[in-house]
Amino acid sequence: MAAQAAERGRKALAASNPELAIKEYTTAINESPTSPDFYIQRSTAHLRANQLEAALSDAEHAVLNGIKRAKKEAVTEAHLARGKALYKLGRIADAQFVLEIVKRRDEKNKQVDMWLNKCLLDIKKLAEDDPKRTVSVSEIPEQPLAQSGASTSGTTSQTQPAPSATSQQTPAGKIRHEWYQSMDRVFITILAKGISKDKATCEFSDRSVSVNFPLEAHGSSFDFHLEPLFGAINTEKSEMRVLPTKVEVNLMKAQSGVKWSKLESDKPLSTTEKADTPVGEDTAMADAAVKEAVLNPTPAPKGPAYPTSSKSGPKNWDKIGEAAEEDIGGDETNYFFKRLYAGASPEVQRAMMKSYQESNGTALSTNWEEVSKGRVETVPPDGMEAKPYPK
């Protein structure tokens, strides 16, 4: 029966009758309430009927059902339906976040590229402080509240009081965390139930994050501290959210587009590391140094002044050469790269900085799509060999 109702729903949707499709898919869901596919199709029907909140709700049900039944493809399709609904609701950052999940799970999905491009174009039009830029969803949607059934008999059933949140708290030894990232952010999920919003605290610094909350049910507390982080973060745009089943920490990367290979760096912060131009893993810290090297190269030492019999005194021929070239800023190559960097888009600047820094100055690329795929290798000139610096 469920399959027959779903088939009728499919035909109604193909005939541009979303209202009938919703009715048929509802029949199918009532008979098979754990099917992610039926929820995905009804979400599509709701979307076409412009019932956006219902479309989002069905998509989130589909994600949860797909996870429970370990149907990876269904989970991916459910996230795509979820991203479409969020976009139609005007929640652009949320839509982009969810669609990036789809892209990560299925790189060959052609639909997701189109919707992601829509998000990117719309986000560019938003003001920096627009709330639509803030991500407020997580990869796994919140579990929907179970609806209590209505009593049909004349007797009144006595309901048991629900257990308190603190009595359901996860013990410290069973709390774990997960993380993933987008181009702009790092998302950390601490899987802990029953945490009080009022008592949880979070502190950010440029290279650290610290979360603390009490576990009253167990007479203890939980501390989560990361230092030094793999890359620098924007503390003003980083945040923590406490939800019934987890605590979410949302870190805004200081340098968009930098890929973190892990949460923490293996190298402790030191005065020397902060002063030197870093090479390798701390890419975010290196960006400022690379930018300075490109835009403001260190001037060459002054040339000697040679004796002369001229009444005007000795001449510095290097200085005269500089004056002759001042229209192009001295060295033609430096002038070219300074102009190229200064007039480039942020994406091109990221590509230039990443390629220059990771290749130890032997390569400079403006193609972010190519550079972002992996580390840029050192390519020494012909006849030379690249060797690591002695530590």
Side chain identity at residue 150, one-letter code: A
pLDDT greater than 90 at residue 204: yes
- Top-confidence range, 44-53, 141-150, 175-184, 369-378: 44-53
Cβ-contact 355, 371 below 8 angstroms: yes
pLDDT greater than 80 at residue 232: yes
The CA-atom distances, in angstroms, between 214 and each of 170, 224, 241 are 11, 12, 15
Residue whose pair of structure tokens reads 């000697």 in the numeric block: 304
pLDDT tens track for 338-352: 666 776 777 778 888
The CATH number of domain 2-133, selected from 3.30.70.1520, 1.25.40.10, 3.20.20.100, 3.40.50.720:
1.25.40.10
Beta-strand runs (E) in 137-196: 176-181, 185-191
Cβ-contact 178, 191 below 8 angstroms: yes
CA dihedral of 327, 330, 332, 337, whole degrees rounded to 10: -100
Residue 135: per-residue pLDDT:
85
What percent helix, strand, coil does the chain show, rounded to 5?
45, 15, 40
Give the contacts of 342 (CB within 8 A, at least 6 positions apart): 295
Name which residue leads in pLDDT, 387 or 64.
64
Beta-strand runs (E) in 52-145: none
Residue 235: per-residue pLDDT:
94
Name which residue leads in pLDDT, 287 or 249.
249
**Closest alpha carbon to 215 in 264, 285, 180, 165:** 165
DSSP 17-46: -HHHHHHHHHHHHHH-TT-HHHHHHHHHHH
Using CA atoms, how far apart are residues 141 and 90, in angstroms rounded to an integer?
18
Beta partners for 190?
177, 247
Residue whose pair of structure tokens reads 């060295």 in the numeric block: 331
Query: For the chain, what are the domain ranges?
Result: 2-133, 166-253, 271-371
pLDDT tens track for 142-180: 765 443 333 333 333 344 444 455 557 888 888 999 888
Using CA atoms, how far apart are residues 109 and 77, in angstroms rounded to an integer?
10
Beta partners for 210?
203, 225
Residue 145: per-residue pLDDT:
43
Residue 200: per-residue pLDDT:
93
Which pair of structure tokens corresponds to residue 266? 């293996």
Beta partners for 226?
209
CATH architecture entry for 166-253: Sandwich (2.60)
pLDDT tens track for 89-137: 999 999 999 999 999 999 888 888 899 999 989 988 888 888 788 888 8
Which pair of structure tokens corresponds to residue 178? 């997960």
